[in-house]
Structure 1
Amino acid sequence: MSVKTQSSPSIPVIETDRLRLRAPNMADWSLYAVFMASDRAAHMGGPFTKAAAWGMFCHDVAQWRLMGHGSLMIDKRVDGTCIGQVGINAGPLFPEHELGWLLYPGFEGQGYALEAAAALRNWGFNVLGLKTLVSYIHCDNDKSRRLAERLGALLDETAERHDPEDVVYRHVVVPT
């Protein structure tokens, strides 16, 4: 009998001046579940049950194996505190590759989401070789809309979306 193993895509660790973007692990589940069960998940379709949040958490991890990209947890480099998540999503539920982000309570307004999203956007274009990247944002989520604009993304009113209440921001390649 012959046994062959498939190689797994490696999950990158991406570092910025203040942040480390790294693979999710089980220690991240409890904070993620609390966030997804809260009103803060409303612009993502939540709040979610624990079972639904678990499925989303597993989806974030599984995409690395299935598609070579997925979600990364955002840690502060200074002390290792996990402050949220940033990810590139794709698959049958997404018309295009999507850049998404979330920050846990208490970490907004400090530029962390901008720094993490810019780093993963650049990785997606320059390392993964993506040709397009969008962010699907609920039309009432003003904070995420402003963040997409600060990232240089442009509103694309003609882009396909899976949720009619979303607006689509198209990211542009930033040369490295």
Structure 2
Amino acid sequence: MFVIQEVASRGLTVVYGPPGSGKTSVAAKLADKVTNRILWISTNEPPNILKTTFARVGANAEKFYVFDFPRAFRGNIAKFIADHIHEYEALVVDTINGIAPHEEKLEELAHGFLYQLSKDMPIIAVVEGVSKQVFYIADNLVKVWSKENALGHTVRYLKSC
């Protein structure tokens, strides 16, 4: 994890994997290690659930400024980020799929907006599934998946690509 967090301290980092694999937890841990004022845009989880996630992974919840945007309001998210990003040192978007419902819009948002922001600060984008349209512009890729072991415990895996 320490090598991955060093990589995530610059540019656009994409954390991807199947639903329930632990992408949000990984993004929280990475962001916590990278900087102190983090704008967290959520399209999936309400702030109280995220605070529990932050505590579970040992992240300092005081660093995170969480804004919950239900997918119905996705059109306002990019404007909100543009208007407020100067107040923060890093940005996490969980999930980028919640902002752009179609692949072509996802690529446009990632390349035209998030990638440009990543030149000034670390950006962590959580992606549900696999999105080759986003992967090609990412500076860093972190794959997350899980398997159940012989004892019935879930084991989570990370791979920096």
Larger radius of gyration: 1
**TM-score of the superposed pair, with normalisation by structure 1:** 0.30
**Looking at both structures, which has the greater relative contact order when contacts are Cα pairs under 8 Å and sequence separation is at least 6?**
2
The structure with the largest helix share of the pair is: 2
The structure with the largest strand share of the pair is: 2
